Amino acid sequence: MTRILLTGGHAATTALSVIRELKKTQKAENIFWVGAKRAIEGSNVSTLESKIFPREGIKCYEIISGRIQRRFTRYTIISLLRIPIGFVHALFILLNIKPDVILSFGGYAAFPVVVMGFFLRIPVVIHEQTIAAGRANLFSAKFASKITLARKESKKYFPNGIVVGNPLLPSLCKIAPKKDKPKRLTIYITGGSRGSIPLNQTVLKVIDKLLRKYNVIHQTGELGYDEVLSARNKLSFRERNAYQIYATIDPNSIHEIWQKASIVIARSGANTVAEAIATKTPSIFVPLSNTYNDEQTKNAIFAQDLGIALVLPEKDLNPENLLNLIEKVDWNWSKMISKISSYKNKDLKAASRICEIILGFSSQG
């Protein structure tokens, strides 16, 4: 059996889809995960990966690593000091696991694993999920044996990259395309696994208006959950029944949310955009404004060009603009779905293609 080490950040559902595919031919005890324990520097919020992967039988290793932060905070110096520690820690982890191949999804926790894997002559495959290029993957590319991409547009940054699509969970791939518009639409609001405070706060300013016409499912992130819960508790009994809130959503249940969702309002991380496209759900994307290479805006525009989304820049995020776009999507709901109906989606087979590539290195050895 091939010993496979996966690593990265912000990649829970992407990695999980590959893990599920790998488990068709590999035993779980031969699949390992290396990543950060905390989702946000200085908080006690655990990463989604550290919560769900052990339930899959995957042994997880927390790596002590730092990163170069875009803004100076009280954690900046500590984070910088952890960078050299991360390389030493990665070396010890790799010598302990002795993987045959490494698959990296990017992120600061993955970079020392990739570098030390290269020096230990372990084949390294990286996957770029965004339509642009993450900082860690740009650095990691110099040490990679193969580079896989979700979108062909990323070849601008990785000319030798192989376009495989963005891996999706099997349960999402099985969702039947939306056709008939429901009488009462359900809006799914998500800021990604960590949530979005600006998005949460804007939604709360219009939640009473939304609940007059729509059902709402709101994934808040752990840091925003209490504020949203407090606001929900002040609503009437009828309104509370129409308003479901979650801090995070288990990937094993995410297909149930997408099945219910008629409209999505979300940050435009690569996974959320890929899921909206795959489920053909009309969307409003509010890109995070300070991402490297403006990757979230590019992800959102990709979906907009397919006809399934509208883009609301973060600087324009306010109650009035949000309500206007929701009304626009509601009015054009059937037309937006029709536009994407013929789109041939590489994402549906991406997990199996990545598995073929990484398992190919073990057959060479």
DSSP string, 304-319: HHHTSEEE--GGG-SH
Question: Is 312 inside a domain boundary?
Answer: yes
Question: What is the tens place of the pLDDT at every residue in 90-126?
Answer: 999 999 999 999 999 988 889 999 999 999 999 999 9
Q: For the domain that residue 110 is a member of, what is the CATH number?
A: 3.40.50.2000
What's the pLDDT at 363?
56
Q: How many structural domains compose the chain?
A: 2
Q: Which two structure tokens, joined as six digits, stand for 70?
A: 């875009």
pTM reported for the whole predicted model: 0.90
What's the pLDDT at 43?
57
Whether 356 and 278 map to the same domain: the answer is: no
Whether 94 and 41 map to the same domain: the answer is: yes
Phi, psi of 85 (to 5 degrees): -60, -35
What's the pLDDT at 19?
95
Question: Is 13 inside a domain boundary?
Answer: yes
Helix axes 350-364, 12-22, angle to 10 degrees: 60
- Hey, which residues does 31 pair with through a beta bridge? 4
Question: Is 172 inside a domain boundary?
Answer: no
Whether 26 and 141 map to the same domain: the answer is: yes
Contact 31, 97 (CB under 8 A): no
Domain span at residue 234? 178-340
Question: Is 142 inside a domain boundary?
Answer: yes
Q: 103: helix, coil or strand?
A: strand
Residues 6 or more apart from 246 whose CB is under 8 A from it? Answer: 217, 218, 219, 220
Whether 25 and 71 map to the same domain: the answer is: yes
Whether 154 and 186 map to the same domain: the answer is: no
Question: Is 75 inside a domain boundary?
Answer: yes
Whether 138 and 186 map to the same domain: the answer is: no
Question: Is 173 inside a domain boundary?
Answer: no
Question: What is the tens place of the pLDDT at every residue in 142-165?
Answer: 999 999 999 999 999 999 999 999
Whether 63 and 159 map to the same domain: the answer is: yes
Whether 9 and 32 map to the same domain: the answer is: yes
What's the pLDDT at 34?
94
Whether 190 and 286 map to the same domain: the answer is: yes
Could you give the CA distance from residue 362 to residue 357 in angstroms, rounded to a whole number? 10
Q: Which two structure tokens, joined as six digits, stand for 178?
A: 């939306």
Whether 353 and 282 map to the same domain: the answer is: no
Whether 192 and 45 map to the same domain: the answer is: no
- Number of C-alpha atoms within 13 angstroms, CB side, residue 261? 29
Whether 257 and 128 map to the same domain: the answer is: no
What's the pLDDT at 293?
79
Residue 191: name the closest of 279, 317, 68 by CA. 317
What's the pLDDT at 253?
92
Give, for all 365 residues of the chain, the pLDDT tens digit. Answer: 899 999 987 778 899 999 999 999 999 899 999 988 775 555 566 788 888 899 999 999 998 875 555 555 555 555 556 677 889 999 999 999 999 999 999 888 899 999 999 999 999 999 999 998 888 899 999 999 999 999 999 999 999 999 999 999 999 999 988 888 999 999 999 998 888 999 999 999 999 999 999 999 999 999 899 999 999 999 999 999 999 999 999 888 999 999 999 999 999 999 999 999 999 999 999 998 877 778 999 999 999 999 999 999 999 999 999 999 999 999 999 999 999 988 989 999 999 999 999 999 875 65
